[in-house]
A and B are shown apart, each in its own frame.
Chain A
Amino acid sequence: MTNPRYAKFLLGMGLCVALAGFPDVAFAHAEAGAASGFLSGFMHPISGWDHILAMVAVGLWGALLGPPALWILPIAFPVAMAAGGMLGLLGIPLPWVEIGIAVSSIVLGLFILTNMQLSLVIAIPLVMIFALFHGHAHGTELSPGADAVLYSLGFVIATGLLHAFGIAVGAVDALPKGRVAIRALGGGVLLGGVYFLLGAFA
């Protein structure tokens, strides 16, 4: 701790952590369960690698496609996923859900690997179809008892943040070897999809 500014920064953070160690009583009355509803929803999309891979890949592919796909795909995906979730909640069946989820990773990974430049007319419906599969899988797994709106809010925000993470990773494209790194990531997503597809058939 030789740098005085660094030392002061650490001291300040230490004080914050120490203050955080003195919580008082919290009476969350009518809103009891709200936090658990939001957190449960937030954790749901990040609870499985098959979902994480595809959602990050959507952001990454959007970053490769550039505007307006960069922001239209992350707008379309959560809405279609919510629609799929609604179908799952209502018990309306959707065939080949697990296969669809795995194929979404394979296709998106392939697009990133090959830097596929599709038009929005194709890209948006394709991503929305993938989102339906992911949403349906989540919808059939949703645990009852939590606050519906807060749970849904947490669920959607987590999904959006995964897209944002993919877009942020896509910024690597500006670096000298960035494109190679991104294509390698696409290859990783593809392999992950193949693994999940084998699991779906197992």
Chain B
Amino acid sequence: MTPYRAGLVLSFGALLAPSAAHAHLVNSGVGPFYDGALHLILSPMDIVRLVTLCLFAGAQGPQSARSAVILAPAAWLLAGVAAYAFGATGSFGFANAISLFLIGGLVAFDLRPPPAVVGAVAAGFAGFLGLQNGMALRSDGMDWVALLGTAAAVLVVVLSVTALVVSATAFPFRVACRVLGSWASATGLLSIGWIVAASR
């Protein structure tokens, strides 16, 4: 077995031997900044929505993607700080479902709005998610520095995924992106029905 394969096997094995996992109320042991970063990464719905946004931004080409990469994390941080500072509260299940339906639909239909619109959509969508994260971090009693960690994680995710989508121009990859967008849109649509039915 080559060192490379041995490393792969050991890494896979290490992944299968979980240590104590504190999902959501994250305690990384290295401070609130990293707690915040893990907070995002361990929130599957945040990741799904963020990745869908990246698929949308990346599919528009480099110019639009650049504005989204700058605006989305900034909007996330600003909205998060505002929600944290003012102690905002609220429930956004329905709005989350609608936003996922719409942003997934934009990806699935491969709509190509102008760069300014892409930036505005990215900022609005990310700001909406940041608002909820700021509220969640405050209600979980986490330090405000955790917000910076969350925003840093958002920056890393948005940069990585958007860059991947922009750079991968092969047709099958584009199709895969649109399929993922349709899945996100369908998820949002089904969630709308679910939430409306549950509220009756």
The interface of chain A, by Cβ under 8 A from chain B, is 5, 8-9, 12-13, 15-20, 22-31, 34, 38, 71, 74-76, 78-79, 81-83, 85-91, 135, 139, 142, 144, 148-153, 155-157, 159-160
Contacts and interface: CB of A to CB of B under 8 A. Distances in A.
Given A26-B18, A148-B93, A156-B187, A31 B108 contact: no
A8 to B, nearest CB: 4
Interface stretch (B69-77, B111-119, B123-131, B189-197): B189-197
Contact of B23 (A12, A29, A91): A29
- 5 closest cross-chain pairs (CB), A and B: A86-B193, A12-B9, A89-B193, A82-B186, A30-B24
19 contacts: A16-B9, A16-B12, A16-B16, A25-B20, A29-B23, A75-B179, A78-B182, A78-B183, A78-B186, A81-B186, A82-B189, A89-B190, A89-B197, A90-B196, A148-B191, A149-B187, A152-B190, A153-B187, A156-B190
Contacts, number: 148
Q: Which of A27, A89, A159 has the most CB of B within 10 A?
A: A89
A84 B48 CA distance: 23
B179 A82 contact: no
A85 B192 CA distance: 10
Given A5-B1, A75-B179, A79-B182, A31 B23 contact: yes
B21 A28 contact: yes
B178 A26 contact: no
A139 B14 contact: no
A6 to B, nearest CB: 11
Nearest to B17: A19
A142 B195 CA distance: 12
Contact of A82 (B5, B6, B93, B187): B187
A155 B190 contact: yes
B30 interface: no
Interface stretch (B37-45, B56-64, B150-158): B37-45
Contacts of B136: 30
Nearest to A163: B179
Give the interface SS of chain B, mostly helix, strand, loop or mixed.
helix
B1 to A, nearest CB: 4
A47 to B, nearest CB: 16
Nearest to A86: B193
Interface in B91-107: 93, 96-97, 100
Interface in B148-200: 175, 178-179, 182-183, 185-198
Contacts of B96: 149
Contacts of B21: 24, 26-28
Interface residues of B, number: 49
Given A19-B13, A78-B183, 15 more contacts: A12-B9, A24-B20, A27-B23, A71-B179, A79-B185, A82-B186, A83-B189, A86-B192, A89-B197, A90-B193, A149-B96, A150-B45, A152-B190, A153-B48, A153-B183
Nearest to A147: B45
B25 interface: yes
A5 B163 CA distance: 38
Contact of B108 (A75, A85, A86): A75
Contacts of A8: 1
B43 A148 contact: no
